[in-house]
Amino acid sequence: MTHIHDHHHPRPGSAVELRARALETLLAERGLVSTDAIDAVVELYEHDVGPQNGAKVVARAWVDERYRERLLSAANEAIAELGFGGAEGDNMVVVANTPAMHNMVVCTLCSCYPWPVLGLPPSWYKSPPDRARAVSEPGAVLREFGLELGEDVAIRVWDSSAEVRYLVLPMRPRETDGWSENELAAIVTRDCMIGTGVPVARETAIP
Amino acid sequence: MSVGASGLATVDRALGAETPLPRDNGELVFDEPWQGRALGMGVVALEGTGASWAEFRRHLAAAIAARPPREGESGATAYYAAWLDALEALLAERGLLNHAP
């Protein structure tokens, strides 16, 4: 998803906007770009980035027990089945939340992140103090994200590295019986898959 | 859709930590639609001209340094204005912005 700040109504055709249009026209005339190709890239960036790929993986695991088993035992292969992965998504390990155990992923040394399945990392992921606190006091950090876990729920923090990148498989909300895979994927956010949130069955997503 | 050669992750890695795309909580920020279009135009133009991302990044770093955000201007607006400067500089360097023959 992309933030378009529509409330910020610019006067029509600011100088820089006109310049952008003029450059596009010139490049199109020279055959260096095509409007269609630019449309396709803009569309791709607006809709194909972010955590949708990972959300589809989670939704499949929720509806298909055998896929879930494959995902937890050999994540790379299972993710590749859905056509995702490559590059920074290599060496994925998927860890499943249970009623007794909540998983959270951080990276204390660098900011390794599985781009192909999760899209862009949240900004706090790159902030050293935040990363350190996630390890030393995960419960407090999660509360700051608005996630209150029961006292009987243990929190396990996974330290992502250049070798292994983790993805949290959240628990499917009880209220989602009968939902389609697409409807399920729509409630899986990036935060769910790094363990700083849990999926919430939104009424708007009910068919 | 798969993440292709011009996938955003590729662009992000190519731009590195010094000239990253403007984001809010990890998501791209465009204050006005022309900014998203400028990003797409850059990606397509680089592919069309065969110019490298390293070449573009050099121009972008120089353009950002030469054009600090103006008063009342958002970070994204300043960034994509510099982005256009960089694209023009790269194209000019390659002789692609001359007046039509």
- Locate A84 and state its tokens: 């995702």
Q: Which pLDDT tens digit goes with each residue over B11-62?
A: 888 888 788 888 765 567 788 888 989 999 999 999 889 899 999 999 999 9
Catalytic residues of A: 107, 110-112
Q: On the CB side of A174, how many CA atoms lie within 13 Å of its CA?
A: 1
pLDDT beyond 80 at A112: no
Residues 54-113 of A with CB under 8 A from B: 83-84, 86-88
pLDDT per residue as tens digits for the range A147-165: 889 889 999 999 877 678 8
- pLDDT tens by residue, A130-148: 777 888 888 888 888 788 8
DSSP line for B11-69: HHHHHTTTSPPPEETTEEEESSHHHHHHHHHHHHHHHHHT--HHHHHHHHHHHHHHSPP
Q: A50 contacts in B (CB within 8 Å)? A: 27
* All structural domains of chain A with their residue ranges: 15-47, 52-205
Domain A52-205 classified CATH 3.10.20.520?
Answer: no
Q: Once rounded to an integer, what is the mean pLDDT over residues A57-79?
A: 95
Q: Which residue of A has its CA nearest to B37?
A: A42
User: Where are the domains positioned within chain B?
Assistant: 31-91
Q: State whether residue A128 sits within 8 Å of chain B by CB.
A: no
